Amino acid sequence: GNSVTQMEGPVTLSEEAFLTINCTYTATGYPSLFWYVQYPGEGLQLLLKATKADDKGSNKGFEATYRKETTSFHLEKGSVQVSDSAVYFCALSHSGGYNKLIFGAGTRLAVHP
């Protein structure tokens, strides 16, 4: 069946460090891929998405490229800030929309000054 695997956290970085959070998926066909972020005390928010192979989603300095050959959608940011501290969820959807999202377990990121 469809599934999403992402690296376990927590990930602890110093401010301005480079971030990578790995995400791989298993799915038939061509799912849409998403990264959601959850800041403390808030609901999940869509961070970025990609709907087809080789698409790059980007937002707030974060990027992720839909790699069909490696079934991956790794999240990267060149220089993290303390305010990026949150839990990041990788997800996929086969409906083309946001109806039935399949999530990874989430990766907690802690950025220290």
Partner 1 sequence: GAVVSQHPSRVICKSGTSVKIECRSLDFQATTMFWYRQFPKQSLMLMATSNEGSKATYEQGVEKDKFLINHASLTLSTLTVTSAHPEDSSFYICSARDDGAREKLFFGSGTQLSVL
**Residues 74-93 vs partner 1: string with x where CB under 8 A?**
---------------x----
**Residue 98 found at the interface with partner 1 (CB under 8 A):** yes
Q: Rounded to the nearest whole angstrom, what is the least distance from the CB of residue 4 to partner 1 in the complex? A: 7
52 touches partner 1 by CB under 8 A:
no
Stretch that binds partner 1, among 22-30, 44-52, 55-63, 77-85 (CB under 8 A): 44-52
DSSP calls for the chain? --EEEE--S-EEEETT--EEE-EEEE-SS--EEEEEEE-TTS--EEEEEE-STT-EEEETTEEEE-BTTTTB--EEESS--GGG-EEEEEEEESSSSSSSEEE---EEEEEE-
Contact 102, 92 (CB under 8 A): yes
Q: Specify the residue, 4 or 111, whose C-beta has the smaller distance to partner 1.
A: 4
Among 15, 46, 52, 78, binds partner 1 (CB under 8 A): 46
Residues that bind partner 1 (CB under 8 A): 3-4, 8, 36, 38, 41-46, 89, 97-106
